[in-house]
Structure 1
Amino acid sequence: MMLFCCALTFAQTTVKGKVIDNTGQPLPGANIIVVGTTTGTISDFDGNFTLSVDQEPPFSITVSSVGFESVTQEVTTNPQTLDFTMVEGTSLDEVVISASRTPERVFESPVTIERFGLKQIKNTASAEFYDGLENLKGVDINTNSLTFKSINTRGFATFANTRFVQLVDGMDNAAPTLNFPLGNLLGMIETDVQSVELLPGASSALYGANAFNGILFMQSKNPFDHDGISGYYKQGITSQEVSGDNNYTDFGIRAAYKFSEKFAAKINFSYLKGTDWGANNTAGKDDRGFVDVNSTRENDPDYDGVNTYGELASINMQTVGNALVELGRIPQEALALIPDINVSRTGYAEADLTNYNAESIKADWGLYFRPWENDFEIQYVGKIGSGTTIYQGSNRYNIKNFFLQQHKLELKNDNFFLRGYITADNAGDSYDMVFTGLNINRQWKDDETWFGEYTGAFVQGTLAGLNADQAHANARVVADTGRLEPGTPGFQNAFNTVTTDSNVLTGSKLRSESKIYHGDANYNFSHLTDFADIQVGGSYRRYSLNSFGAVYTDASGSIDYSETGIYTQVQKNFLEEDRLKVTASLRYDKSELFDSFFSPRISFGYNIGENKNHNVRASFQTGFRNPDTQALYIGLNLGRIVLLGGAPDNPERELRAYPITSPLGQSIIGGSNIQFSGTNAYNNSFTASSAATFSRSLNPADLEIASPSTVEPEQVSSFEVGYRGKLKNVIIDFSAYVNQYQDFISTVDVVAPFYGDVELTQNVPGTNIPLALAALDNEEFQAYRTYTNTDADVNAYGAAIGITTKVLNGFDLGMNYTYAKLDFDREANPDFQTNFNTPEHKVKASFGKTNLFKDFGFNVAWRWSDTYVWEATFASGVVPAFHVIDAQINYRVKSLKSTFKAGVSNLLQDEYFTAVGTGLVGSQYYVSWTINNL
């Protein structure tokens, strides 16, 4: 035993030293690696390191750090002290992986790519690193709520952003029920982030179906390379005119330990609590969902407020009058006093239906095993996230105690990976606030009684000499007498009953326990062949939707379907000094619901100049988007309209019973109820806009047959050119693109009559009046928002340029500009929503210095957004131009291995919004303490 220990002691070499930057400041978190092995360590907060190696000199060690040029020195004695001075590189020298699934410099990337590294994360002026991504060029972040922000690039943004993929350590963190990520709910805590890369534009050739508009990669720190304990604590307030000033708390801890060269583990935990941005837009919406600032409850009997909920219950007064005559409650002659208009019930303000609690709890853990102490690694990673936030989709939702979990097993080395993971969600106590207001009203008084009282009171008021406005106001007072008031026990009891009931006719609770099973693999043959770098890979995904009929047409059981894809990529350098780099990719995909197809990509990059410091590139790439889970299988009754997915087998699954009140309708169908299928939306329907025109003109020539097709995959062809280079001390990154879409997926609003055909060949018996027109006149129809494709030309184009430099002896200055334009004939396609939702012009700038003086730094970020039209199922309207300034100062205390920061988001306190219907974004003030974040 003694001889064995002596042999071990003799074989071990100890290297100590310090890593500093070219200004003499210590460089924490630098990687020190023995060349040709995975043995290494990182520098501590003061830049010091100690490395013990089971190897005798001579050997070499390399020191690297993000944003600096790597340095290699030889170890010749035991022990030995080596100091390293790192020279700061440029953003073009940083290494990225996502553009080609292989390490390469940003400078040589075949397509546009943005990188948000450790330096940018530490210096961001935003309250959270995730929010700091908004300062990248070409990036839009739409603020849904305080803790839920949606990232998008190149247009077509909604909060249900199914065109953009977000990967965390290779796992898609989209919630299976929603089919898109809930911001950073299942993301990473700040102290565990290694790097963030973002690919704008189509990326399907390598990453599959949903990488259509872009893809975000977040990579965490490996405990073999980054061990130790680190954490942060943030405290501050959010300030908004509607919600006032409220406390904000955010803290997290990371613990990682390398037990040996074979085994390491880590665990992360974070908790955030605050108050969400309150929404109180009281303007009304017209029948197309556009905000009408002139519509108020006082002047519009059929008022439907943006942020007041309950007005979905609406009916024509003459229909009610006819029913009252049949019941003998009003005389026949009173019908002449009743106007031919709709009236809606009185709604509740959003603040009455939520406490605006914003909360996020995240935890993840990982076990890492290197059985042969080399680059081969086996990982198990688990993640859980739970949160409470506001989500705006077709309605406004209180996402309460939503739970998401992932589990991954991965085998990998430098040349391959094989991973499989499962994502599962649970909607928790989430509920629809629109239906909450609607059904609280119904808990108190049913619609038939309320509308009857309203119409009867209107007639009485008119007979008493009141004008129309006075009669409507009096009728509402009469019908609302005794209404449940917020804050009372009766209201609270009704609220509790409704929000725990998942039947949309009586409740508002969202139920879901859906899952995604995913597996993918990749092998890089570059170490086996000198001809070219060749990669092959593939993926498999299976969806299992289970909303118990609350969201999808799955009341009778889960809906399961799968997608498969394989791809290859060849990359090769040509010409003298390898100045020309050609990358070609091809992917084949097959969904069990649709035909298969191919997605090619080819790019050319050429280095210009004596030192090859200018790169020009051109690429053609294609992308495809399988319809998302909602576009396929949603069957959600929103009151005035039913959202209906367009999977081939879905319309027939959407089957509901509807009341028929007119004598004609009852005689036609042979009863007072009809079982009506969603197939009518696709096979026998009018466009909603033409039906609205007909209701005013009563001219059958105004009607247009809709009968949309079921949904198919969408495709895009993208042409892109770009330039990257350095002119003296100025770095320029420019790109421009043109996107051409085929079979563009969106929604079309249609109206399906309960009886009669839309070709108007079936008449009312004994007359020449078409049955379908009679159904429209009797309001015996169902409105649907159907998912389909358009054959209209949909194109988009844009450009972005970023300029960074150092000025005034070391200050970092950056500016970028983004242009985006939709090419689509809206007038010719009034029923088709593209949801482009992107400003034409955006400008962003940042200014700061990491060491203004010893250990003190600051950063200021400014961004401006042009006016644009927001188009969505909940509400549409104009988003005014806005500009925002974020700022922070920070101070490093080396003795505490800590950084202290004070910052503010929206320094000027100019409240703004990025989508119609959301709360205005106020200001966020915070101070933070980060410990040992290397």
Structure 2
Amino acid sequence: MRVYLLIMLFFCGASFAQNTITGSVTDSNKQSIPGANVVVVGERSGASADFDGTFKLTTSAKLPFTIKISAVGFGAKTVSITSANQKVNVILKDEENKLDEIVVSASRTPERVLESPVTIERMGIQDIKKTASPSFYDGLENLKEVQMNTSSMSFKSINTRGFATVANTRFMQLVDGMDNSSPLLNFVLGNMIGVSEIDVQSVELLPGASSALYGANAFNGILFMNSKSPFTDQGIDVYLKLGQTSQHAAGTNASVDFGIRAAKTFNKYFAAKANFTYMQATDWYATNYADKTVAGIDRSNPNYDGINVYGDEVSTNIKGVGQSLASLGLIPAGAVNLLPNSNVSRTGYNEIDLTDNKASNLKIDFSLHARPFGDERLEIIWQSKFGFGNAVYQGANRYYLNNFFMQQHKLELKGKNFFVRGYTTSEDGGNSYDMVFTGINVDRKWKDDKTWFGQYAGAYIQSTLAGMTPANADKAARATADTGRFLPGSPEFQKAFNEVIKDESVLTGSKLVDNSRIYHSDANYNFRDLIKFAEIQVGGSFRLYELNSHGRIYTDADGPINYNEYGAYTQLMKKFMDDRLKFTGSIRYDKSKNFDGNFSPRLSLVYSGGEKKNHNFRGSFQTGFRNPSTQDQYIGFNIGNAVLIGSAPDNLGRFSETFNLSPEGQAYSGGNTTKDMTGYDAYGNSYIASSVSAFAAMAGSNPVAAAALLKKSNANYVKPEKVKAFELGYRSVFEGFSIDLNGYYNIYNDFIGNLNVISTYYGQAQDNPNLAGGATDPGFQSVRAIQNGEYRAYQLYTNSDVEIHSLGFGAGFSKKIIAGYELGVSYNYAQFDFDKEKDPSFEAGFNTPKHRIKASIGNEKVFENFGFNVSARWNSEYEWQAGFADGIIESATVIDAQINYAVPKMKSTFKLGAANIGGKEYTQVIGAGLIGQQYFASWTFNP
């Protein structure tokens, strides 16, 4: 076992007396306010009100001190505490105060949302209670700035400010300070190993670059999910949701979601908690049968490659097959001319036949909390989290994560002004498999590719000689070649399927093997009690990756790949002009094993105007960077029709394939009968794939003009991408009305993307190769390799030389309109721009609608204990570009609604809700299933 993490801390300080404050929080109608926040002003210590509005706060603050009681939708109150064990009963008045809440993430120190130096969104306990979505995580989609990407019902990723993907490696998600992204494939796991909704204390979202404080992966934004402390929230909480999902393709199916939380404060020195949650439902069926090769759905296309059809990725030039058959004497040489000079694909299997379409998630976590001094000056936390689940992840291929398992273990020491933590993340692929390779290799179980294409070519020739049209000849040839095909549902199919998904080799199987790990530690210290002229913080982090796919995804067949990265930062915050002007400056340095170090500065100013300092203007500038992901560097993955190859210096030579050469190829290769292809060929001797497609379209009629279209790839090895981010904003709360405006402008350099290339088995890739040079010319040889089908397709990870600009604007408004009814509206605009002519092969993958509108209306007290909420969102259509499939995502309008009724005597809340009540199915990811409707009834018990 590798050395886990070593955390050392020397801590000393004076001893303070312990004070316990109890009380209750109610509204003007004497109704309790569950979840109300009670904090000691200027300190981190605090508590939350229970279901009946009571609270208990323990602090070491010296008397006298002040506490602040607040809750969403109510005006805050401060109370002076002058005696130990003082009882406080507070009545809060209805008032819009969302922007007056306390957040920590923006500056790593407590501050009002109003005074945050950057845009920040927050969801608290009250927001979770009233969300109309099936879960609190789904409810995040109704926050301004948030874009959700649904790959599966149990796999949803959050994005902000453009360039969205399912993996979303530009966005970081922290759960109690732990990054919950997959060590192997880098994707953020949604809430599969996140927080139970009855254990959520708060969710904070920072859209945009956050590298100055949080490092390389916080390039496009960061989400913080914080759980409750057993010292402030104890007891047994339970929730149960029963519901149905409805989709045209899948029908109507039952769903269940259950959770229980148990927390206990044994004494002032020790507390513990545990959570258990379980969700199961039928996943959204993915049934997009559009052809990747041509527009529309045309399964009569001989080279059909359906988006949610797998196995048809295996394709070859059928004339080339005929030439091979002729060279072996199996068909007359003249018969080759009857075959079209075009590609033909094998018949594939639909995704719904290659998965049980079940979405599930089981989360278990527990934590032990010790306070050696009996107060919050020092708290030691051990936390373990375990997540199991079934979901579909979409990257370059579609993967069924079947019994996927991930665990995290953390040791943390924290106090008033510091924290030191270390954690490890490990995962096991379980019975997960690649659905594309499942289709490919089930096909090969009943007939190998050589036999299938040979039978197709022979039958096509016979059908043509019989007078059939090309379309009918294709049908007849395919029917002949498909003789003996395993049909879904048959015993033969099931046997082959079971064998393939258990086989780890991509040549014969599809199992996803993964035992990768991350070791991470970070620390922060705030000198505010030692340095008075300004608030100064320092911190740093270290991370070690251990990639272990056993050669299945990465080039790690000979053992795990290890590499590390580290960083350090400092921040200074100072207020001027009677505390109306706040300056924040920070800078961070990060270094990764394979790349030069990067500095990330951030400067911001916030001015609070008005008598109550409730008109806040802010401006900030920061730079951010993103290190290439583990995939960008170390992948070496054969996905059938191409190889994904990373460009780390020690990676290129580790991936190797051997191909047989034709007689012509042998002549050009000094008599060698085979060719070994490596990553060096992909990066050093290849044509841009789009130029090869253009060449193929013209080569039959004018090969010389066609050759002029060929363009050599000049892809460089991947390096970090960078962003300069400018932001202006305004926040205010007045007369029950809140407003939040922001605008941003980003400049991206060295943007990381994919480049599809073709590397030939022989010859040398050249711009506009000279065909007049003859057989001895390397450029001529490379053209002949393309014409003979002797080449390998690769997807490279590289940087674009083109500067990319993006800009956006966001506006959010909310107001108590009448009798407790609250209305909220937000709008986001986003667009990007780059010079396509400078890099025509580059796909930026902005994947973000230009316009988004969100609105909600609700009332927590329509009458005693009864409330409701309705939320709606709309987005304009936009283009989706990704490695798996491209396409247009249509505009969508989605309405969610819920009603709830509280029974204080039972300490329970009952809720009825529906998501997408309009019923029109929509998609958020090309290749994923259409999202239908969800209905649920829930019971939550909060003693």
Q: TM-score range by the shorter chain?
A: over 0.9
How far the C-alpha of 1:66 sits from its partner, in A, is 3.7
Aligned amino acid, residue 492 of structure 1: Q
Is the CA contact 1:38–1:373 (under 8 Å) kept in the aligned structure 2? no
What secondary structure, in the 3-state scheme, does the structure 2 residue paired with 1:424 have? strand
Equivalents in 1 of 2:660, 2:934: separation in Å? 50
Would the aligned equivalents of 2:424 and 2:519 in 1 still touch at CA under 8 Å? Answer: yes
1:420 counterpart = 2:426: no
Quick one: which amino acid aligns to residue 295 of structure 2? D
Give the AA of the match of 2:67. Answer: T
1:773 matched to 2:758: no
Alignment check: 8 A CA contact 2:463 2:476 kept: yes
Q: Specify the alignment match of 2:492 in structure 1.
A: 490
Q: Please, which of 830, 854, 873 is the counterpart of residue 864 of structure 2?
A: 854
CA distance in 2, matches of 1:481, 1:423: 48
Deviates more, 1:585-594 or 1:201-210: 585-594
Q: Residue type of the partner of 2:93?
A: V
Tell me, in whole angstroms, the C-alpha distance in 2 between the residues paired with 1:412 and 1:160. 32
Is 1:20–2:26 an aligned residue pair? yes
Distance 1:621 1:41 in 2: 34
* Match runs of 1:235-254 below 5 Å: 235-254=242-261
> Residue 503 of structure 1 is aligned with which of 502, 505, 527?
505
Asked if 1:208 corresponds to 2:210, the answer is no
| Matched-pair contact (CA < 8 Å) for 2:907–2:942 | yes
Contact kept in structure 2, 1:387 and 1:400, CA below 8 Å: yes
1:274 aligns with 2:281: yes
Change (3 A) 1:464 1:412: same
Give the corresponding residue for 2:89. 83
Q: Which amino acid aligns with 2:126?
A: K
| One-letter code aligned to 1:864 | W
Q: What secondary structure does 1:190 align onto?
A: coil
Return the alpha-carbon distance in structure 2 between the equivalents of residues 615 and 16 of structure 1: 34
Q: Distance in 1 between matches of 2:532 and 2:810?
A: 36
Query: Is 1:752 aligned with 2:779?
Result: no
| CA positional deviation for 1:25 | 1.3
Out of 185, 189, 213, which is 1:178 matched to? 185
User: Secondary structure of the residue that 1:459 maps to in structure 2?
Assistant: helix
Write the deviation string for residues 456-477 of structure 1: whole angstroms up to 9, x where unpaired. 0111111111111111101111
Corresponding residue of 1:830: 840
Between 1:462-471 and 1:655-664, the stretch displaced more is 655-664
Taking the aligned partners of 1:696 and 1:164, their CA distance within structure 2 comes to 40
In structure 2, the partner of 1:296 is 298
Aligned counterpart in structure 1 of residue 67 of structure 2, from 62, 73, 78: 62
Find 1:461's aligned residue among 444, 448, 463. Answer: 463
In the TM superposition, residue 819 of structure 1 has moved relative to its aligned partner by 0.5
Alignment of 1:787-798 (within 5 A): 787-798=797-808
How far 1:553 moved relative to its partner?
1.1
Distance change in 2, residues 1:340/1:195 (3 Å): same
**1:403-414 pair list within 5 angstroms:** 403-414=405-416
Q: What is residue 674 of structure 2 aligned with on the other side?
A: 673
Question: For 1:690-717, what per-residue CA distance to the aligned partner results, in whole angstroms no more than 9, with x for missing partners?
Answer: 1111122232211111130000011100
Aligned letter for 2:265?
Answer: K
Per-residue Cα deviation, 1:267-326 (whole angstroms, up to 9, x for no partner): 00100000000011111112xxxx621x4122x100001111111111111111112212
Aligned to 1:395: 397
The answer to whether structure 1 residue 872 and structure 2 residue 882 are counterparts is yes
Q: Please, which moves more after superposition, 628-637 or 651-660?
A: 651-660
- Give per-residue Cα distances to partners, 1:769-792, cap 9 Å, x unaligned: 721111111111111110001111
Cα pair distance change 1:223/1:340, threshold 3 Å: same
Give the number of aligned pairs: 914
Aligned match of 2:313? 312
1:630 aligns with 2:631: yes
Matches within 5 A, 1:409-808: 409-575=411-577, 577-665=578-666, 668=669, 670-697=671-698, 698=703, 699-759=706-766, 760=769, 765=775, 770-808=780-818
Cα separation, 2, equivalents of 1:834 and 1:440: 34
Q: Give the secondary structure class of the aligned counterpart of 1:409.
A: strand
User: Which residue does the alignment assign to 2:51?
Assistant: 45
Paired residue for 1:839, among 835, 849, 856?
A: 849
Deviations 1:72-103 (A, max 9, x none): 2546698x764221235501110000000000
CA distance in 1, matches of 2:59, 2:683: 70
Instruction: Judge which range, 129-138 or 664-673, deviates more.
Output: 664-673
Q: Which residue does 2:916 correspond to in 1?
A: 906
**1:360 maps to what in 2?**
361
Q: Secondary structure at the match of 1:832?
A: coil
Counterpart of 1:6 in structure 2 is none
List alignment gaps of at least 5 residues for structure 1.
1-10
The one-letter amino acid of 1:62's match is: I
Q: Which letter does structure 2 place at the counterpart of 1:374? A: D
Deviation per CA, 1:182-219: give whole Å up to 9, x if none: 11111000000000000000000000001000000011
- Worse-matched range after superposition: 746-755 or 439-448: 746-755
Structure 2: distance between partners of 1:768 and 1:663: 13
How far residue 618 of structure 1 moved from its aligned partner, in angstroms, is 0.7
8 A Cα contact 2:598 2:625, kept in partner = no
1:895 partner amino acid? K
Question: Relative to structure 1, is the Cα distance of residues 533 and 678 closer, same or farther in structure 2, using a 3 angstrom cutoff?
Answer: same
What is the aligned-residue identity percentage? 52
State the distance in 2 between where 1:666 and 1:227 align: 78
Contact 1:31 1:225 in 2 (8 A): no
| Residue in structure 1 matching 2:140, options 133, 138, 141 | 133
What are the superposed Cα offsets for residues 648-670 of structure 1, whole Å, 9 maximum, x if unpaired? 22222221112323433465253
1:103 and 1:195 mapped to 2: Cα distance? 14
Residue 40 of structure 1: how far off its partner (Å): 7.9
CA contact (8 A) 1:580 1:604 kept: yes
Q: What secondary structure, in the 3-state scheme, does the structure 1 residue paired with 2:267 have? A: coil
Query: Is the CA contact 1:66–1:118 (under 8 Å) kept in the aligned structure 2?
Result: no
**Structure 1 contact 689–830 (Cα < 8 Å) conserved:** no
The residue aligned with 2:7 is none
Cα separation, 2, equivalents of 1:41 and 1:736: 35
Cα 1:261–1:33 shift into 2, 3 Å: farther
Aligned residue number for residue 890 of structure 1: 900
1:780-806 per-position Cα deviation (integer Å, ceiling 9, x unaligned): 111111000111121111110000111
Change in CA separation of 1:694 and 1:903 when aligned onto 2, cut-off 3 Å = same
Structure-1 separation of matches of 2:104 and 2:908: 31
TM-score (norm 1): 0.95
Counterparts of 1:540 and 1:385, CA distance in 2: 24
Q: Is the 8 A contact 2:764 2:778 kept in 1?
A: no
| Alignment of 1:815 onto 2:825 | yes
1:667–1:708 CA distance, 2 compared to 1 (3 A): closer
Structure-2 separation of matches of 1:929 and 1:157:
35
Would you say the 8 A contact 2:718–2:752 is kept in 1? yes
Counterpart amino acid of residue 84 in structure 1: V
Distance 1:911 1:239 in 2: 10
Q: Distance in 2 between matches of 1:643 and 1:239?
A: 37
Structure 1 residues 678, 229: CA separation in 2 closer, same or farther (over 3 Å shift)? same
61-70 vs 322-331, greater mean Cα deviation: 61-70
Matched, 1:920 2:930: yes
CA RMSD of aligned residues (A): 2.2
Q: Which residue does the alignment assign to 1:8?
A: none
- Residue 18 of structure 1: how far off its partner (Å): 3.3
Distance of 1:765 and 1:331 partners within structure 2: 26
- Offset at residue 42 of structure 1 (A): 5.3
Q: For residues 527 and 56 of structure 2, what CA distance do their matches in structure 1 show?
A: 36
Aligned position for 2:10: none
2:336 and 2:888 map into 1 onto residues whose CA distance is 40
CA distance in 2, matches of 1:401, 1:388: 6
Counterpart of 2:152 in 1: which secondary structure?
Answer: coil
